[in-house]
């Protein structure tokens, strides 16, 4: 039976279990801290420290091509007539800049 197990032995098991769980949680906490340290000290998670985020609408080009794939239909003469102006317009989403200031970085003081 369990009569031969003394109180100190039980305590020893308890401490062992506590140490084990403490070690496991300490590892988790350590990785959590290093992750947050990385994001606060190092690279921006959003823009990779470029301080800029590419516009999703124009894919960073600052121009929106109108007409989609049908724009491939030759319109050379038309373009010449309009002074080689391509059938693309400035992206209104980013004001033709192609990027925004990173909201994550600009949030920092
Ligand atoms: Zn854009
Ligand atoms: Zn950023």
What HEC string does 9-77 produce?
Answer: HHHHHHHHHHHHHHHHHHHHHHHHHHHHHHHHHCCCCCCCCCCEEECCCCCCCCEEECCHHHHHCCCHH
Instruction: Report the chain's mean pLDDT, rounded to a whole number.
Output: 72
Q: What is the pLDDT of residues 5-53, one digit of tens each?
A: 787 877 777 777 777 666 666 666 566 555 565 555 567 878 888 888 9
Query: How far is the centre of ligand 1, averaged over its atoms, from the C-alpha of 102 (Å)?
Result: 14
Which domain covers residue 23, as residue numbers? 1-42
Closest ligand by atom to 89 CA? 1
Same domain flag for 71 and 100 = yes
- Whole-angstrom distance, CA of residue 31 vs CA of residue 48: 20
**Residues at Cβ < 5 Å from ligand 1 ion:** 55, 57-58, 91, 93-94
Same domain flag for 63 and 90 = yes
Query: How far is the centre of ligand 1, averaged over its atoms, from the C-alpha of 80 (Å)?
Result: 26
Number of domains in the chain: 2
pTM, two decimal places: 0.42
Query: How far is the centre of ligand 2, averaged over its atoms, from the C-alpha of 104 (Å)?
Result: 5
Same domain flag for 63 and 79 = yes
């Amino acid at each position: 039976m369990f009569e031969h197990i003394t109180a100190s032995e039980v305590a020893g098991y308890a401490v062992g279990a506590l140490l084990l769980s403490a070690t496991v949680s300490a590892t988790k906490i350590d990785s959590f801290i290093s992750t947050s340290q990385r994001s606060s000290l190092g690279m921006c998670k959003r823009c990779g420290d470029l301080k800029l985020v590419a516009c999703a609408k124009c894919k960073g080009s600052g121009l929106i091509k109108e007409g989609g794939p049908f724009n491939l239909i030759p319109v050379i003469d038309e373009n010449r007539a309009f002074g080689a102006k391509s059938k693309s317009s400035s992206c209104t989403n980013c004001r033709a800049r192609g990027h925004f200031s990173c909201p994550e970085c600009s949030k920092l003081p």
